[in-house]
Chain A
């Protein structure tokens, strides 16, 4: 069980809460308290819009443990409008092809169970096609 880790990450996972650098206005995700752009301290929270586009993607057929019940699924590198790139599952794809540059929006969905079905349910961000 990894309850403390899931609990610690809930804000960023549920609602894409990262940080903004007070020195250079760089938007940071995931939050790391130090700006990767200017090296200054950056602890101010920033809620991302959740809008972005697919930078690249792949479809997983042989899923790692914990994700096997949802295979096959597509994972993408999503370039957020505010700058950072995040790795996330795409959802509600409706068997239509994914395209590089496809506009997407963040939704909060079930990721997996922590352990088996007796464990906590882990929720987090995924992206779906933006209409």
Chain B
């Protein structure tokens, strides 16, 4: 018996009606835990650090409140009536409830209820881009004029684990609509998914587990390079055709290495490489990398975005900035402005803010 080969079907996801981003908004909470502070507590300050520091949500923040702020920023840039949104979708692996949607809270807060779809999406770190692909289909099929997709996380890391250095908080919201109204057209997307158990959390567990080095080659690198390569082949492009690129960023090294493997320079990924200063924002990571890139992009710039979600899969997007971007990006707080709002905290404060103390 021969082993069946996984042959990617080389067809792009391309909506019947051209679709684009008509509004986008980021959010990063203001508290920062330096990686050296985690090392001080757990390794006596020894060993390399995967990032400089990570963003930590305040005591009164969660994925719902953070999504609301990002969604409001996206609404400011889109300048549409919230009742025109026919979907509010929130991708996360840290939804505040196990059962009860985050998305209804967000939809209510921005005034999009009641004639809208609302659902929470889960696919580890690509839950947000999965919602983005669905929103492309929703708008591109003419079922909806506008749809919102959010990727947001307050990531969990087991105390002392390698992930505790990087598990950050933040994300972004996108409003998709017809290409002719958009500040950036999504030319096409391509998704590459296999059953690869590199990282998981069982329902009763508070913290996730991971496959150590197994999270690298067969998971992150395989899925991102396959998704990006097939997208670029089908689009007839190479790395040189893109002004900017954003890759999922669990630490500083991985996106730099995968960028090199795909032929991208460090300059091309620089605006969207936020992990050194906010950590891995999981479902928010690729999406907030794109908001930071849109904050500085110029009309005509082409952007490649590739997410990665453990379990595992990648969504790749080919995006072209239009001349509507310049007028809209100043209508809301920019990604780097959120990053600049910074309050450094120590490990003890982090433990309190993240609810790691048993109070009873």
Binding site for B on A (CB under 8 A): 10-11, 14-15, 47, 69-70, 89, 91-92, 94-95, 107-111, 120-121, 123, 126, 131
A60 and B61 CA atoms in complex are apart in Å by 19
Total contacts A to B, CB within 8 angstroms?
52
Q: Mark B50-86, 1 if CB is under 8 A from A, else 0.
A: 0000000011111011001100000000000000000
Residue B49 lies at the interface, judged by CB distance under 8 Å to chain A: no
Q: Which of B108-116, B165-173, B184-192 contacts A (4 or more CB under 8 A)?
A: B108-116
Residues on the A chain within 8 Å of B111, using CB: 15, 47
- In the complex, the answer to whether B59 meets A107 with C-beta atoms within 8 Å is no
Which 9 pairs show the lowest CB-CB distances between chains A and B? Answer: A109-B60, A14-B109, A110-B60, A94-B343, A108-B68, A109-B65, A70-B59, A15-B109, A108-B109
Sample 13 A-B pairs with CB under 8 A, ordered by A number: A14-B68, A69-B59, A70-B60, A89-B60, A91-B58, A91-B60, A92-B341, A110-B60, A110-B62, A111-B60, A121-B64, A123-B65, A126-B60
A70 and B64 CA atoms in complex are apart in Å by 18
Residues on the A chain within 8 Å of B110, using CB: 15
A11: min CB distance to chain B, Å: 7
A105: min CB distance to chain B, Å: 10
B355: min CB distance to chain A, Å: 9
- In the complex, the answer to whether A94 meets B30 with C-beta atoms within 8 Å is yes
Known: A10-B108, A15-B109, A15-B111. A69 touches B62 (CB 8 A): no
Beyond A15-B110, A89-B60, A109-B65, 7 additional contacts (C-beta under 8 Å) are A10-B108, A11-B108, A69-B59, A108-B109, A120-B100, A121-B97, A126-B60
Residues on the B chain within 8 Å of A92, using CB: 30, 58, 341, 343
B358: min CB distance to chain A, Å: 12
Residue B359 lies at the interface, judged by CB distance under 8 Å to chain A: yes
Residues on the A chain within 8 Å of B341, using CB: 92, 131
A89 and B58 CA atoms in complex are apart in Å by 14
Residue B105 lies at the interface, judged by CB distance under 8 Å to chain A: yes
B29: min CB distance to chain A, Å: 8
Chain B facing A: main interface SS: loop
Task: Give the contacting residue for A121; candidates B59, B68, B96; CB below 8 A.
Answer: B96
Binding site for A on B (CB under 8 A): 30, 58-62, 64-65, 68-69, 96-97, 100, 105, 108-111, 341, 343, 359
A64: min CB distance to chain B, Å: 16
A126 and B65 CA atoms in complex are apart in Å by 11
Known: A69-B359, A94-B30, A121-B96. A107 touches B109 (CB 8 A): no
- In the complex, the answer to whether B108 meets A14 with C-beta atoms within 8 Å is yes
A95 and B31 CA atoms in complex are apart in Å by 12
Residues on the A chain within 8 Å of B69, using CB: 107-108
B30: min CB distance to chain A, Å: 6
B79: min CB distance to chain A, Å: 15
Q: Kindly report which residue of chain B lies nearest to residue A13, judged by CB atoms.
A: B109
Q: Kindly report which residue of chain A lies nearest to residue B333, judged by CB atoms.
A: A131
A121 and B97 CA atoms in complex are apart in Å by 9
- In the complex, the answer to whether B61 meets A109 with C-beta atoms within 8 Å is yes
Residues on the B chain within 8 Å of A11, using CB: 108
Q: Kindly report which residue of chain B lies nearest to residue A129, judged by CB atoms.
A: B341
Residues on the B chain within 8 Å of A95, using CB: 343
A94 and B341 CA atoms in complex are apart in Å by 10
